[in-house]
Amino acid sequence: MLEYSNWQGYMVSFDSESFHIFSSWQLQSIPVFGPDSDYTTLAISLVNLMHSKGVDIDNVSYNQSDIDLEVLKIAAGIDIQSDDGEWNLICHDDASLSITKSLDVNVSKPDGLSEIDPELYHQINQAWEKESSIENVSQGAYISSQQYNESLSSRLKLLAQFDHKTIWPPRQLNDDGTPINHPEVQLSRTCKIESWTKLSAAGAPSEFSIRAPILDGISTVYVLFEEGNRGVFLLTDDQNKKPEIGLSGEIVVRKIYSQEGEIRYGTKVQLI
Amino acid sequence: MVDVAIIGAGQTKYGNHASGLKGMWAEAAKNAFESVDQNFHPNRIDEAFIGSVAFGGSQLGNTAALLTEHSAMKGISVRRVENACASSGFALRDAWMAIKSGQADVVVAGGIEKMNDLTPERKRFWLGVSGDTEWERLAGLTFPGTYALMARRYFHEFDSTHDDLVNISVKNHMHGLHNEFAHLRKDVSFDKAKNGFMVADPLTLYDCCPTSDGASCVVLAADHVVREFTDDPLWLLSSGAASDNLALHDRPSITQLMATQKAAKTAYSMAGLNPDDIDLAEVHDCFTIAELLATEDLGFAARGEGGKFARQGLGRRNEGDVCINPSGGLKSKGHPLGATGTGQAVEVFKQLKGTVESSRLVRDAEIGMTHNVGGSGATCAVHIFGRERNA
């Protein structure tokens, strides 16, 4: 019987040969994704777990099509191959996936999944569909694919520059007018809340205008990293705990918004 | 070195304007021209600086050329100035610099914004474009959220609560009640302001300025031509300006605006004045917390004492040493983004010349200040005006 524990807002279980991750939500006993999760976010989170347990994984075999491989590569720092390797990444039908040394795995859902409100679930899914439609012309600010990809490693992996101090998000020239090195330093994934706000749906940016009313507003936190850097992040959409100054949070990868038919991933805070 | 005077100032009413861009600008310019005491003709204008974020995107390119050709200024050197909500504050500074440099004798500085003909979605876009789009907006922040973060942090660091912000809202609504140009002319009770709809926790509707259409215009002149137009000029004694990191998270503190402090220091030093000398100040209260921080950053209250300043009503008209936002501020008068800076100058001009409604005149005022901020503090322009040429 597998034992599950919480990890980055998901349920995980593992042994030396297999790692499994489940969404924390179910709808009438059937596991489903939360409001800002999908196979890509699960995969990134599971690889992060493996790294945290000292597993030396730098590539996986994967033959399905449910994951944004570019995002996975950058966020998790692994390569994807189609033929057999040591580790196989398998997406299951029940909002879960496994990274395992075996080619065949059968995992039953954990106890303790939370029942998601059916109306919320359906509305959010419809909202993502609408937002992701190529016909959806957002009234939001336009971040081009080039601009988005340029800072992807800083955005997803919290990679910082170093120039006498850690610098995040990345900058161009230092105070002497010299170009600063490429981001290579990993910021800690935990942070402290220094301030927070919850925006009403009417006050949220246009990029979130379809989903914010369904979520009853969106919450943003202003945080301090161990290295002294600060950032602002959305809370994960299914964060139940209310933010407070002084609380700790963990930086996790989630869906942020969609533009021109493409899901844009980024980092959010999961309160600890 | 040339001294610079304001010889005329005018604006439209702020609010939901029936006119389009050209009509609003022409009205503000006409009002400014007509306010000059004597002998003024637009053909005397050498340069024009017009501030605007871009009024909903309908005329991003060659804005100034379009507007000046409709207001008797065709053919002169013109340009749009953009620094978010500080656009016309910087237009004013640029106009001042043009005269100080000796390259121009008579210059127009103004601003314009039209937002209320947009759909709510488009309006929200334009209202949120002046933060760091990549790292703040995509973390859910528009400016209510940004200033809400600042407010909550301020309450945590100092002896202050939301009630202090409520006091600011009530004061500014009281100040704007008799301002014929104000967008929102109504008294607001403490309880109503305290319990308003939550926009971005802890900021309620009454902590946030409205979205306003409007235009404003001032006419500046060099000292050697001033007497052609008036025997009673208002002198622009000094200008200070600065910038800071655009994103909150790149600043060492989110409970003070370094750009304001730097700009104010320059302005005070240039004028040979200090905060105690200021009789009235139009400060940038896009949100009530912004006014609280401004009272500290401009030196009217010590660091951490802005809450107490508001609580004690020290900025109320004819009650304290300095009247903060006699016009009603952005909170009551309104905030047509690009027009706000020179709109503040219009108020100071009228207050110091004694031409505002008698019910809201700041008595015995000799020195006035304007404080105009772009976004959450990435840019700031501070100007000091005086009845006497050398304060």
State pLDDT tens for residues B282-326: 999 999 999 999 999 999 999 999 999 999 999 999 998 999 999
Show Cβ contacts of residue B141 under 8 Å, excluding neighbours closer than 6 positions.
Answer: A199, A205, A220, A232, B128, B131, B149
What burial class does residue B100 get, using C-beta atoms within 10 Å of its C-beta: 0-12 exposed, 13-18 middle, 19+ buried? Answer: middle
> Please, are residues A122 and A28 in contact by the beta-carbon 8 Å criterion?
no
Looking at residues B224-232, what average pLDDT do you find?
Answer: 97
pLDDT score of B128 more than 90: no
pLDDT score of B121 more than 80: no
Which residue blocks in chain B are alpha helix, DSSP H? 21-35, 63-69, 87-100, 120-127, 143-157, 162-176, 190-194, 223-229, 258-271, 288-297, 306-311, 329-332, 340-353
Return the H-helix or E-strand segment holding B70.
none
Confidence label for A140 from pLDDT (cuts 50, 70 and 90): low
Rg of chain B's alpha carbons, rounded to an integer? Answer: 19
The strands making up A185-186's β-sheet, listed across from edge to edge, are A166-167, A159-162, A185-186
Residue B113's SS3 state is strand
Q: How far is CA B303 from the centre of its chain?
A: 22
| Closest chain A residue to the Cα of B131, Cα to Cα | A141
Output the six-digit token pair for B191: 């309880």
Q: How many interchain CB pairs under 8 A, A with B?
A: 117
**Is B153 in Cβ contact with A197 (below 8 Å)?**
no
Closest CA to B200 of A267, A230, A196, A244: A196
The pLDDT of residue B81 is 97
Residue with tokens 């006050």: A203
List residues bridging with B238 in a β-sheet: B384
From the list A151, A202, A218, the residue facing B140 with the nearest CB is A218
Cα diameter, chain A: 60
Nearest-angstrom CA–CA distance, A267 and A264 = 10
pLDDT over 90 for what percent of chain A? 76
**Is B249 in Cβ contact with A141 (below 8 Å)?**
no
Output the six-digit token pair for A78: 């692994």
Residue with tokens 């609010």: B15
Nearest-angstrom CA–CA distance, B239 and B263 = 8
pLDDT tens, position by position, B54-65: 776 778 889 999
Nearest-angstrom CA–CA distance, B25 and B169 = 29
Output the six-digit token pair for B16: 């939901």
Looking at residues A168-177, what average pLDDT do you find?
Answer: 94
From the list B121, B149, B254, the residue facing A206 with the nearest CB is B121
Output the six-digit token pair for A83: 């033929």
pLDDT tens, position by position, A182-194: 999 999 999 999 9
| Closest chain B residue to the Cα of A166, Cα to Cα | B250
pLDDT tens, position by position, B240-296: 999 999 999 999 999 999 999 999 999 999 999 999 999 999 999 999 999 999 999
Length of chain A as a residue count: 272
B156 classed as catalytic? no
Confidence label for B175 from pLDDT (cuts 50, 70 and 90): very high
Q: How many CB atoms lie within 10 A of CB B65?
A: 19
Q: How far is CA B241 from the centre of its chain?
A: 13
**Is A139 in Cβ contact with B121 (below 8 Å)?**
yes
Looking at residues B126-150, what average pLDDT do you find?
Answer: 90
pLDDT tens, position by position, A22-43: 999 999 999 999 999 999 999 9
End-to-end CA distance of chain B: 16
Q: What is the mean pLDDT of chain B?
A: 96
Residue B202 main-chain phi, psi, to 5 deg: -95, 15
pLDDT tens, position by position, A236-265: 999 888 999 999 999 999 999 998 888 999
Nearest-angstrom CA–CA distance, A269 and A181 = 27
The pLDDT of residue B158 is 98
Nearest-angstrom CA–CA distance, B317 and B313 = 9
| Closest chain A residue to the Cα of B255, Cα to Cα | A195
Nearest-angstrom CA–CA distance, A266 and A71 = 9
> Please, are residues B241 and B90 in contact by the beta-carbon 8 Å criterion?
yes
From the list A229, A234, A245, the residue facing B140 with the nearest CB is A234
Output the six-digit token pair for B68: 């000046």
B85 classed as catalytic? yes
The residue from B162, B183, B284, B335 that is catalytic is: B335
Residue with tokens 């969106």: A218
B42 or B115, which is more confident? B42
> A230: which chain B residues are within 8 Å (Cβ-Cβ)?
248-250
Question: Is the peptide bond preceding residue A169 cis, with omega within 30 degrees of 0?
Answer: yes
Write out the residues of chain B at the interface with chain A, using a CB-CB cutoff of 8 A. 119-122, 124-125, 128-129, 133-142, 144-145, 148-150, 152-153, 156, 197-203, 247-250, 254
pLDDT score of B391 more than 70: no
Closest CA to B14 of B321, B260, B298, B342: B342
The residue from B17, B85, B209, B371 that is catalytic is: B85
| Closest chain B residue to the Cα of A223, Cα to Cα | B249
SS3 string, A210-265, reads CCCCCCCCEEEEEEEECCCCEEEEEECCCCCCCCCCCCEEEEEEEEEEEECCEEEE
Nearest-angstrom CA–CA distance, B28 and B71 = 9
From the list B125, B202, B249, the residue facing A206 with the nearest CB is B125
Return the H-helix or E-strand segment holding A177.
none
pLDDT score of A139 more than 70: no
